[in-house]
Structure 1
Amino acid sequence: MSFHSVVVVILAILGNVLSMFLSLSPIKTFIAIDKNRDVGKLNIYPIIALCANSMGWVIYGAVTKRSTILPVNTFGMLATLYYIMAYYGAVPNYHQRRKIALIFVSLMTTVIVWCLCVILMTDDKESQIFLGFTTNVILFIFFLSPVFALYQVIKQRDTSTIYVPLAFFTLTSGLAWTFYGLLVNDPFIYVPNAFGAFLAVLQLIVYVAINLINGGKITPVSNLNASGNFIQVEEDESTRHLELDESETI
Protein backbone atom coordinates (compact mmCIF):
# COMPACT_ATOMS: atom_id res chain seq x y z
CA MET A 1 0.00 0.00 0.00
CA SER A 2 1.41 3.38 -1.05
CA PHE A 3 1.81 6.37 1.25
CA HIS A 4 -1.00 8.14 -0.63
CA SER A 5 -3.38 5.23 0.01
CA VAL A 6 -2.45 5.12 3.71
CA VAL A 7 -3.15 8.84 4.13
CA VAL A 8 -6.49 8.47 2.32
CA VAL A 9 -7.54 5.65 4.66
CA ILE A 10 -6.44 7.60 7.77
CA LEU A 11 -8.32 10.73 6.68
CA ALA A 12 -11.42 8.68 5.87
CA ILE A 13 -11.41 7.08 9.33
CA LEU A 14 -10.73 10.44 11.01
CA GLY A 15 -13.48 12.11 8.99
CA ASN A 16 -15.97 9.39 9.93
CA VAL A 17 -15.15 9.62 13.64
CA LEU A 18 -15.30 13.44 13.76
CA SER A 19 -18.50 13.54 11.73
CA MET A 20 -20.10 11.07 14.14
CA PHE A 21 -19.23 13.42 17.00
CA LEU A 22 -20.80 16.22 14.95
CA SER A 23 -23.99 14.18 14.56
CA LEU A 24 -24.03 13.41 18.30
CA SER A 25 -23.33 16.97 19.49
CA PRO A 26 -27.03 17.84 20.01
CA ILE A 27 -28.06 14.47 21.46
CA LYS A 28 -28.38 15.70 25.07
CA THR A 29 -30.82 18.37 23.97
CA PHE A 30 -33.03 15.87 22.16
CA ILE A 31 -32.90 13.32 24.97
CA ALA A 32 -34.13 16.08 27.29
CA ILE A 33 -36.87 16.97 24.79
CA ASP A 34 -37.91 13.32 24.53
CA LYS A 35 -37.99 13.03 28.32
CA ASN A 36 -39.60 16.36 29.26
CA ARG A 37 -41.85 16.80 26.21
CA ASP A 38 -40.79 20.43 25.86
CA VAL A 39 -39.17 21.70 22.64
CA GLY A 40 -38.56 25.23 23.92
CA LYS A 41 -37.63 27.46 20.97
CA LEU A 42 -35.51 24.89 19.18
CA ASN A 43 -35.40 25.13 15.39
CA ILE A 44 -35.80 21.63 13.93
CA TYR A 45 -35.53 22.57 10.25
CA PRO A 46 -31.69 22.48 10.02
CA ILE A 47 -31.88 18.95 11.44
CA ILE A 48 -34.39 17.97 8.74
CA ALA A 49 -31.98 19.38 6.14
CA LEU A 50 -29.12 17.43 7.73
CA CYS A 51 -31.17 14.21 7.59
CA ALA A 52 -31.91 14.72 3.89
CA ASN A 53 -28.26 15.57 3.29
CA SER A 54 -27.09 12.38 5.02
CA MET A 55 -29.47 10.31 2.92
CA GLY A 56 -28.23 12.03 -0.23
CA TRP A 57 -24.61 11.25 0.68
CA VAL A 58 -25.52 7.60 1.33
CA ILE A 59 -26.95 7.40 -2.20
CA TYR A 60 -23.96 9.32 -3.62
CA GLY A 61 -21.50 7.02 -1.86
CA ALA A 62 -23.31 3.92 -3.14
CA VAL A 63 -23.43 5.19 -6.74
CA THR A 64 -19.80 6.36 -6.80
CA LYS A 65 -18.66 3.29 -4.81
CA ARG A 66 -16.99 5.47 -2.16
CA SER A 67 -17.61 3.17 0.78
CA THR A 68 -15.64 5.47 3.11
CA ILE A 69 -18.44 8.05 3.22
CA LEU A 70 -21.22 5.51 3.78
CA PRO A 71 -20.81 4.65 7.52
CA VAL A 72 -20.88 8.20 8.88
CA ASN A 73 -23.77 9.31 6.69
CA THR A 74 -25.81 6.22 7.53
CA PHE A 75 -25.15 6.96 11.21
CA GLY A 76 -26.00 10.64 10.70
CA MET A 77 -29.25 9.77 8.96
CA LEU A 78 -30.33 7.46 11.80
CA ALA A 79 -29.31 10.00 14.47
CA THR A 80 -31.19 12.86 12.82
CA LEU A 81 -34.25 10.64 12.34
CA TYR A 82 -34.27 10.10 16.11
CA TYR A 83 -33.92 13.85 16.71
CA ILE A 84 -36.83 14.59 14.38
CA MET A 85 -39.07 11.91 15.94
CA ALA A 86 -38.23 13.10 19.47
CA TYR A 87 -39.02 16.69 18.52
CA TYR A 88 -42.20 15.78 16.63
CA GLY A 89 -43.51 13.75 19.57
CA ALA A 90 -42.92 16.65 21.96
CA VAL A 91 -44.62 19.38 19.89
CA PRO A 92 -47.99 20.13 21.55
CA ASN A 93 -49.50 22.11 18.68
CA TYR A 94 -51.28 20.00 16.04
CA HIS A 95 -50.77 22.52 13.24
CA GLN A 96 -47.05 22.78 13.99
CA ARG A 97 -46.73 18.98 13.96
CA ARG A 98 -48.55 18.88 10.65
CA LYS A 99 -46.21 21.53 9.21
CA ILE A 100 -43.12 19.63 10.37
CA ALA A 101 -44.44 16.36 8.94
CA LEU A 102 -45.29 18.03 5.63
CA ILE A 103 -41.86 19.62 5.27
CA PHE A 104 -40.04 16.44 6.31
CA VAL A 105 -42.02 14.11 4.02
CA SER A 106 -41.88 16.56 1.10
CA LEU A 107 -38.12 17.07 1.38
CA MET A 108 -37.28 13.39 1.81
CA THR A 109 -39.64 12.35 -1.01
CA THR A 110 -38.15 14.99 -3.31
CA VAL A 111 -34.60 13.83 -2.58
CA ILE A 112 -35.47 10.14 -3.06
CA VAL A 113 -37.44 10.67 -6.29
CA TRP A 114 -34.77 13.02 -7.69
CA CYS A 115 -31.95 10.59 -6.88
CA LEU A 116 -33.87 7.66 -8.41
CA CYS A 117 -34.54 9.65 -11.58
CA VAL A 118 -30.87 10.61 -11.83
CA ILE A 119 -29.71 7.02 -11.31
CA LEU A 120 -32.19 5.50 -13.77
CA MET A 121 -31.99 8.14 -16.51
CA THR A 122 -28.27 8.98 -16.64
CA ASP A 123 -25.00 7.12 -16.96
CA ASP A 124 -22.58 6.65 -14.06
CA LYS A 125 -20.56 9.81 -14.72
CA GLU A 126 -23.62 12.03 -15.09
CA SER A 127 -25.18 10.43 -12.00
CA GLN A 128 -22.14 11.36 -9.93
CA ILE A 129 -22.36 14.98 -11.11
CA PHE A 130 -26.10 15.39 -10.52
CA LEU A 131 -26.06 13.64 -7.15
CA GLY A 132 -22.97 15.59 -6.11
CA PHE A 133 -24.68 18.91 -6.84
CA THR A 134 -27.82 17.76 -5.01
CA THR A 135 -26.01 16.80 -1.81
CA ASN A 136 -23.86 19.92 -1.98
CA VAL A 137 -26.88 22.24 -2.14
CA ILE A 138 -28.44 20.63 0.95
CA LEU A 139 -25.09 20.65 2.78
CA PHE A 140 -24.56 24.35 2.05
CA ILE A 141 -28.01 25.07 3.52
CA PHE A 142 -27.07 23.21 6.72
CA PHE A 143 -23.68 24.94 7.01
CA LEU A 144 -25.24 28.38 6.53
CA SER A 145 -28.06 27.92 9.07
CA PRO A 146 -26.04 28.90 12.21
CA VAL A 147 -24.19 31.66 10.35
CA PHE A 148 -27.33 33.68 9.66
CA ALA A 149 -27.37 34.62 13.36
CA LEU A 150 -23.84 36.10 13.26
CA TYR A 151 -25.10 39.59 12.42
CA GLN A 152 -27.16 39.67 15.62
CA VAL A 153 -24.24 38.16 17.54
CA ILE A 154 -21.94 40.98 16.42
CA LYS A 155 -24.60 43.67 16.80
CA GLN A 156 -25.65 42.64 20.32
CA ARG A 157 -22.21 41.35 21.38
CA ASP A 158 -23.91 38.20 22.61
CA THR A 159 -22.29 34.84 21.80
CA SER A 160 -25.12 32.72 23.18
CA THR A 161 -26.19 31.68 19.67
CA ILE A 162 -22.76 30.18 18.88
CA TYR A 163 -22.49 26.57 20.04
CA VAL A 164 -18.74 25.96 20.36
CA PRO A 165 -18.79 22.10 20.29
CA LEU A 166 -20.84 22.15 17.07
CA ALA A 167 -18.51 24.71 15.47
CA PHE A 168 -15.43 22.76 16.61
CA PHE A 169 -16.58 19.43 15.16
CA THR A 170 -17.77 21.16 11.99
CA LEU A 171 -14.27 22.62 11.62
CA THR A 172 -12.30 19.44 12.36
CA SER A 173 -14.51 17.07 10.36
CA GLY A 174 -14.64 19.60 7.54
CA LEU A 175 -10.84 19.77 7.37
CA ALA A 176 -10.52 15.97 7.41
CA TRP A 177 -13.01 15.55 4.57
CA THR A 178 -11.49 18.46 2.65
CA PHE A 179 -8.07 16.82 2.57
CA TYR A 180 -9.67 13.45 1.82
CA GLY A 181 -11.59 14.95 -1.10
CA LEU A 182 -8.42 16.57 -2.44
CA LEU A 183 -6.51 13.29 -2.29
CA VAL A 184 -9.25 11.35 -4.11
CA ASN A 185 -9.84 14.32 -6.45
CA ASP A 186 -13.56 14.68 -5.71
CA PRO A 187 -14.67 18.35 -5.68
CA PHE A 188 -18.12 17.36 -4.42
CA ILE A 189 -16.44 16.29 -1.19
CA TYR A 190 -13.72 18.91 -0.68
CA VAL A 191 -15.57 22.06 -1.82
CA PRO A 192 -18.55 21.96 0.62
CA ASN A 193 -16.42 20.71 3.50
CA ALA A 194 -13.83 23.44 2.97
CA PHE A 195 -16.68 25.96 2.95
CA GLY A 196 -18.13 24.48 6.15
CA ALA A 197 -14.73 24.56 7.85
CA PHE A 198 -14.31 28.22 6.85
CA LEU A 199 -17.72 29.13 8.31
CA ALA A 200 -16.86 27.27 11.52
CA VAL A 201 -13.60 29.24 11.81
CA LEU A 202 -15.58 32.44 11.28
CA GLN A 203 -17.97 31.52 14.11
CA LEU A 204 -15.11 30.67 16.48
CA ILE A 205 -13.28 33.92 15.67
CA VAL A 206 -16.44 35.93 16.37
CA TYR A 207 -17.00 33.96 19.58
CA VAL A 208 -13.48 34.61 20.90
CA ALA A 209 -13.40 38.25 19.76
CA ILE A 210 -16.71 39.18 21.38
CA ASN A 211 -15.83 37.41 24.62
CA LEU A 212 -12.55 39.34 24.72
CA ILE A 213 -14.43 42.59 24.09
CA ASN A 214 -16.82 41.66 26.91
CA GLY A 215 -13.91 41.32 29.29
CA GLY A 216 -13.22 37.63 28.83
CA LYS A 217 -16.62 36.53 30.13
CA ILE A 218 -17.49 33.29 28.35
CA THR A 219 -21.13 32.56 27.62
CA PRO A 220 -22.08 29.22 29.23
CA VAL A 221 -22.81 26.49 26.68
CA SER A 222 -26.05 25.27 28.15
CA ASN A 223 -29.66 25.32 26.96
CA LEU A 224 -28.39 25.06 23.40
CA ASN A 225 -30.42 23.78 20.52
CA ALA A 226 -29.35 21.42 17.78
CA SER A 227 -28.68 24.07 15.16
CA GLY A 228 -26.22 25.89 17.37
CA ASN A 229 -28.69 28.41 18.70
CA PHE A 230 -29.63 29.07 22.31
CA ILE A 231 -32.97 27.86 23.56
CA GLN A 232 -34.33 30.95 25.22
CA VAL A 233 -36.31 29.60 28.15
CA GLU A 234 -38.99 32.04 29.19
CA GLU A 235 -40.62 31.15 32.48
CA ASP A 236 -44.28 31.98 32.12
CA GLU A 237 -47.32 30.97 34.14
CA SER A 238 -47.79 27.70 32.21
CA THR A 239 -44.15 26.77 32.79
CA ARG A 240 -44.50 27.30 36.53
CA HIS A 241 -47.66 25.16 36.58
CA LEU A 242 -45.82 22.46 34.62
CA GLU A 243 -42.96 22.45 37.11
CA LEU A 244 -45.45 22.31 39.99
CA ASP A 245 -47.28 19.38 38.42
CA GLU A 246 -44.03 17.50 37.84
CA SER A 247 -42.96 18.03 41.46
CA GLU A 248 -46.30 16.72 42.68
CA THR A 249 -46.07 13.55 40.60
CA ILE A 250 -42.63 12.60 41.93
Structure 2
Amino acid sequence: MNPDAVRNVVGIIGNIISFGLFLSPLPTFIQIVKKGDVERFVPDPYLATFLNCALWVFYGLPVVHPNSILVLTINGAGLVIEVVYLSIFFAYAPKPKRMKMLGVLAVEFVFLAAVAAGVILGAHTYEKRSLVVGSLCIFFGTLMYAAPLTVMKRVITTKSVEYMPFTLSFVSFLNGICWTTYALIRFDIFITIPNAMGTLLCTLQLVLYFCYYGSTPKGDNSGVELPVTASDGGRN
Protein backbone atom coordinates (compact mmCIF):
# COMPACT_ATOMS: atom_id res chain seq x y z
CA MET A 1 0.00 0.00 0.00
CA ASN A 2 1.13 3.53 -0.77
CA PRO A 3 2.81 5.06 2.34
CA ASP A 4 0.92 8.31 1.79
CA ALA A 5 -2.40 6.43 1.82
CA VAL A 6 -1.43 4.66 5.05
CA ARG A 7 -0.37 7.98 6.56
CA ASN A 8 -3.72 9.54 5.65
CA VAL A 9 -5.63 6.68 7.27
CA VAL A 10 -3.53 6.97 10.43
CA GLY A 11 -4.05 10.74 10.41
CA ILE A 12 -7.82 10.37 10.11
CA ILE A 13 -7.85 7.95 13.05
CA GLY A 14 -5.68 10.43 14.95
CA ASN A 15 -8.13 13.22 14.17
CA ILE A 16 -11.03 11.19 15.57
CA ILE A 17 -9.13 10.37 18.78
CA SER A 18 -7.90 13.96 19.13
CA PHE A 19 -11.42 15.31 18.72
CA GLY A 20 -12.52 13.10 21.60
CA LEU A 21 -9.67 14.47 23.70
CA PHE A 22 -10.66 18.05 22.92
CA LEU A 23 -14.17 17.25 24.15
CA SER A 24 -12.98 15.52 27.33
CA PRO A 25 -13.26 18.68 29.53
CA LEU A 26 -16.94 19.04 28.52
CA PRO A 27 -18.29 17.60 31.81
CA THR A 28 -16.26 20.21 33.69
CA PHE A 29 -17.93 23.05 31.78
CA ILE A 30 -21.38 21.51 32.08
CA GLN A 31 -20.77 21.53 35.84
CA ILE A 32 -19.65 25.18 35.70
CA VAL A 33 -22.79 26.22 33.79
CA LYS A 34 -25.10 24.28 36.11
CA LYS A 35 -23.55 25.77 39.26
CA GLY A 36 -22.97 29.20 37.74
CA ASP A 37 -19.51 29.22 39.27
CA VAL A 38 -16.02 28.14 38.15
CA GLU A 39 -15.24 27.18 41.77
CA ARG A 40 -11.54 26.23 42.10
CA PHE A 41 -11.06 25.40 38.43
CA VAL A 42 -8.44 27.51 36.67
CA PRO A 43 -8.32 28.67 33.03
CA ASP A 44 -4.60 27.95 32.57
CA PRO A 45 -4.94 24.60 30.73
CA TYR A 46 -7.42 26.05 28.24
CA LEU A 47 -5.34 29.17 27.65
CA ALA A 48 -2.32 26.97 26.99
CA THR A 49 -4.28 24.68 24.68
CA PHE A 50 -5.62 27.70 22.78
CA LEU A 51 -2.07 28.92 22.11
CA ASN A 52 -0.88 25.43 21.19
CA CYS A 53 -3.72 24.87 18.73
CA ALA A 54 -3.21 28.30 17.16
CA LEU A 55 0.48 27.54 16.55
CA TRP A 56 -0.34 24.16 14.97
CA VAL A 57 -2.99 25.76 12.76
CA PHE A 58 -0.36 28.22 11.55
CA TYR A 59 2.10 25.35 11.02
CA GLY A 60 -0.47 23.47 8.93
CA LEU A 61 -1.22 26.39 6.60
CA PRO A 62 -0.05 25.86 3.00
CA VAL A 63 2.09 29.01 3.26
CA VAL A 64 4.14 27.38 6.05
CA HIS A 65 3.98 23.59 5.68
CA PRO A 66 2.10 22.36 2.57
CA ASN A 67 0.14 19.09 2.52
CA SER A 68 -0.78 19.25 6.21
CA ILE A 69 -4.55 19.30 5.86
CA LEU A 70 -5.12 16.78 8.68
CA VAL A 71 -2.97 18.80 11.06
CA LEU A 72 -4.82 21.96 10.05
CA THR A 73 -8.35 20.56 10.39
CA ILE A 74 -8.03 18.94 13.83
CA ASN A 75 -6.25 21.90 15.35
CA GLY A 76 -8.73 24.27 13.75
CA ALA A 77 -11.53 22.31 15.41
CA GLY A 78 -9.59 22.32 18.68
CA LEU A 79 -9.12 26.08 18.46
CA VAL A 80 -12.87 26.62 18.10
CA ILE A 81 -13.59 24.28 21.04
CA GLU A 82 -11.07 26.09 23.26
CA VAL A 83 -12.67 29.44 22.38
CA VAL A 84 -16.02 28.03 23.57
CA TYR A 85 -14.44 26.75 26.81
CA LEU A 86 -12.74 30.09 27.48
CA SER A 87 -15.97 31.98 26.76
CA ILE A 88 -17.88 29.86 29.30
CA PHE A 89 -15.11 30.25 31.86
CA PHE A 90 -15.03 34.00 31.33
CA ALA A 91 -18.81 34.25 31.73
CA TYR A 92 -18.84 32.54 35.13
CA ALA A 93 -15.46 33.55 36.57
CA PRO A 94 -15.02 36.26 39.22
CA LYS A 95 -13.45 39.53 38.14
CA PRO A 96 -9.84 38.68 39.22
CA LYS A 97 -9.83 35.51 37.09
CA ARG A 98 -11.39 37.41 34.17
CA MET A 99 -8.67 40.05 34.31
CA LYS A 100 -6.00 37.35 34.42
CA MET A 101 -7.55 35.65 31.39
CA LEU A 102 -7.67 38.91 29.43
CA GLY A 103 -4.03 39.64 30.28
CA VAL A 104 -2.85 36.19 29.19
CA LEU A 105 -4.94 36.28 26.02
CA ALA A 106 -3.53 39.71 25.13
CA VAL A 107 0.02 38.37 25.49
CA GLU A 108 -0.86 35.30 23.41
CA PHE A 109 -2.38 37.37 20.60
CA VAL A 110 0.65 39.67 20.49
CA PHE A 111 2.95 36.64 20.45
CA LEU A 112 1.00 34.94 17.65
CA ALA A 113 0.93 38.14 15.59
CA ALA A 114 4.69 38.59 16.05
CA VAL A 115 5.37 34.98 15.03
CA ALA A 116 3.14 35.24 11.96
CA ALA A 117 4.67 38.54 10.84
CA GLY A 118 8.22 37.36 11.48
CA VAL A 119 7.76 34.07 9.64
CA ILE A 120 5.92 35.48 6.62
CA LEU A 121 8.22 38.48 6.19
CA GLY A 122 11.51 37.02 7.40
CA ALA A 123 11.48 33.40 6.17
CA HIS A 124 11.10 33.03 2.43
CA THR A 125 11.10 29.23 2.01
CA TYR A 126 8.82 26.49 3.27
CA GLU A 127 11.78 24.84 5.00
CA LYS A 128 12.65 27.95 7.02
CA ARG A 129 9.04 28.68 7.90
CA SER A 130 8.43 25.08 8.96
CA LEU A 131 11.60 25.15 11.07
CA VAL A 132 10.64 28.29 12.99
CA VAL A 133 6.97 27.43 13.58
CA GLY A 134 7.68 23.73 14.10
CA SER A 135 10.31 24.50 16.74
CA LEU A 136 7.81 26.64 18.63
CA CYS A 137 5.24 23.84 18.36
CA ILE A 138 7.74 21.36 19.81
CA PHE A 139 8.47 23.67 22.72
CA PHE A 140 4.86 24.44 23.65
CA GLY A 141 3.64 20.95 22.81
CA THR A 142 6.24 19.40 25.11
CA LEU A 143 5.30 21.83 27.88
CA MET A 144 1.67 20.77 27.56
CA TYR A 145 2.61 17.10 27.67
CA ALA A 146 4.54 17.83 30.86
CA ALA A 147 1.32 18.96 32.57
CA PRO A 148 0.37 15.40 33.68
CA LEU A 149 3.55 15.32 35.80
CA THR A 150 1.60 17.29 38.43
CA VAL A 151 -1.14 14.67 38.42
CA MET A 152 1.39 11.84 38.56
CA LYS A 153 3.03 13.44 41.60
CA ARG A 154 -0.35 13.65 43.32
CA VAL A 155 -1.08 9.98 42.55
CA ILE A 156 2.21 8.95 44.18
CA THR A 157 1.67 11.26 47.17
CA THR A 158 -1.96 10.31 47.87
CA LYS A 159 -1.82 6.74 46.51
CA SER A 160 -5.09 7.58 44.75
CA VAL A 161 -5.93 7.69 41.03
CA GLU A 162 -8.96 9.93 41.63
CA TYR A 163 -7.47 12.81 39.62
CA MET A 164 -6.11 10.62 36.81
CA PRO A 165 -9.06 8.98 35.03
CA PHE A 166 -8.07 5.77 33.26
CA THR A 167 -10.07 6.51 30.11
CA LEU A 168 -8.40 9.88 29.56
CA SER A 169 -4.92 8.43 30.13
CA PHE A 170 -5.60 5.48 27.83
CA VAL A 171 -7.09 7.55 25.01
CA SER A 172 -4.20 10.03 25.35
CA PHE A 173 -1.81 7.09 25.01
CA LEU A 174 -3.56 5.91 21.83
CA ASN A 175 -3.51 9.46 20.51
CA GLY A 176 0.24 9.79 21.09
CA ILE A 177 0.91 6.44 19.39
CA CYS A 178 -1.28 7.37 16.43
CA TRP A 179 0.31 10.76 15.78
CA THR A 180 3.83 9.47 16.34
CA THR A 181 3.15 6.78 13.73
CA TYR A 182 1.73 9.42 11.40
CA ALA A 183 4.87 11.52 11.76
CA LEU A 184 7.25 8.59 11.24
CA ILE A 185 5.66 7.31 8.01
CA ARG A 186 6.78 10.48 6.27
CA PHE A 187 9.20 11.77 8.88
CA ASP A 188 8.24 15.06 10.50
CA ILE A 189 10.41 15.78 13.53
CA PHE A 190 8.15 18.59 14.71
CA ILE A 191 5.21 16.20 15.14
CA THR A 192 7.31 13.24 16.28
CA ILE A 193 9.02 14.79 19.32
CA PRO A 194 6.01 16.13 21.30
CA ASN A 195 3.87 13.09 20.56
CA ALA A 196 6.63 10.62 21.40
CA MET A 197 7.07 12.50 24.70
CA GLY A 198 3.31 12.34 25.24
CA THR A 199 3.25 8.60 24.58
CA LEU A 200 5.99 8.08 27.17
CA LEU A 201 4.22 10.18 29.82
CA CYS A 202 0.88 8.47 29.14
CA THR A 203 2.60 5.09 29.50
CA LEU A 204 3.89 6.18 32.91
CA GLN A 205 0.38 7.33 33.86
CA LEU A 206 -1.06 3.93 32.96
CA VAL A 207 1.65 2.16 34.96
CA LEU A 208 0.85 4.36 37.98
CA TYR A 209 -2.85 3.75 37.51
CA PHE A 210 -2.45 -0.01 37.70
CA CYS A 211 -0.02 0.32 40.62
CA TYR A 212 -2.35 2.43 42.76
CA TYR A 213 -5.82 1.43 41.54
CA GLY A 214 -7.83 0.20 44.52
CA SER A 215 -5.34 1.54 47.06
CA THR A 216 -6.60 3.38 50.13
CA PRO A 217 -5.93 7.09 49.48
CA LYS A 218 -3.79 9.08 51.87
CA GLY A 219 -4.70 12.61 52.92
CA ASP A 220 -3.95 15.46 50.52
CA ASN A 221 -3.97 18.95 51.99
CA SER A 222 -3.01 20.78 48.84
CA GLY A 223 -6.53 22.18 48.43
CA VAL A 224 -6.10 22.34 44.66
CA GLU A 225 -8.75 20.85 42.41
CA LEU A 226 -7.25 19.72 39.14
CA PRO A 227 -9.33 20.28 36.00
CA VAL A 228 -9.66 17.31 33.69
CA THR A 229 -8.25 18.38 30.36
CA ALA A 230 -7.04 16.78 27.20
CA SER A 231 -3.34 16.43 26.80
CA ASP A 232 -1.62 17.80 23.72
CA GLY A 233 -3.19 14.98 21.77
CA GLY A 234 -3.69 15.73 18.15
CA ARG A 235 -2.64 19.32 18.40
CA ASN A 236 0.08 18.53 16.03
TM-score normalised by length of structure 1? 0.82
Deviation at 1:188, TM superposition (A): 0.4
Distance 1:108 1:34 in 2: 27
* 1:143 is the counterpart of 2:145: yes
| Deviations 1:14-72 (CA, angstroms, capped at 9, x unpaired) | 11111000101111211221342211221321111111111111110112021121111
Distance 2:149 2:127 in 1: 33
Matches within 5 A, 1:165-204: 165-204=167-206
Deviation at 1:187, TM superposition (A): 0.6
Tell me which structure has the larger Cα radius of gyration.
Answer: 1
* 1:114 is the counterpart of 2:121: no
- Paired position in structure 1 for 2:40: 41
Deviation at 1:119, TM superposition (A): 2.2
Distance 1:108 1:178 in 2: 29
Kindly report the root-mean-square deviation, in angstroms, between the aligned alpha carbons of the 2 structures.
Answer: 1.9
- Paired position in structure 2 for 1:100: 101
Distance 1:120 1:160 in 2: 49
Deviation at 1:213, TM superposition (A): 4.4
- Paired position in structure 2 for 1:219: none
- Paired position in structure 2 for 1:88: 90
- Identity between Structure 1 and Structure 2 (%): 26
Hey, which bits of structure 1, 4+ residues long, moved more than 6 A? Answer: none
8 Å CA contact 1:58, 1:70 repeated in 2: yes
Gap regions ≥5 residues in structure 1: 216-222, 229-250
* 1:205 is the counterpart of 2:210: no
8 Å CA contact 2:160, 2:215 repeated in 1: no
| Deviations 1:84-125 (CA, angstroms, capped at 9, x unpaired) | 111111112x12210111112212321232132122211221
Deviation at 1:8, TM superposition (A): 0.7
In the alignment, residue 197 of structure 1 is paired with which amino acid?
Answer: T
- Paired position in structure 1 for 2:233: none
**After alignment, is 95-104 or 17-26 more displaced?**
95-104
8 Å CA contact 1:153, 1:161 repeated in 2: yes
In proportion to residue count, which structure has more helix?
Answer: 1
Deviation at 1:10, TM superposition (A): 0.7
- For the residue of structure 2 that corresponds to 1:9, the secondary structure is helix
8 Å CA contact 1:171, 1:200 repeated in 2: yes
In the alignment, residue 97 of structure 1 is paired with which amino acid?
Answer: R
C-alpha change, 1:26 and 1:200, in structure 2 (3 Å) is same
Distance 1:114 1:3 in 2: 35
Deviation at 1:3, TM superposition (A): 2.8
Deviation at 1:214, TM superposition (A): 4.2
8 Å CA contact 1:119, 1:127 repeated in 2: yes
Deviation at 1:212, TM superposition (A): 4.9
C-alpha change, 1:109 and 1:61, in structure 2 (3 Å) is same
Deviation at 1:224, TM superposition (A): 6.9
- Paired position in structure 1 for 2:128: 126
8 Å CA contact 1:29, 1:224 repeated in 2: no
C-alpha change, 1:101 and 1:163, in structure 2 (3 Å) is farther
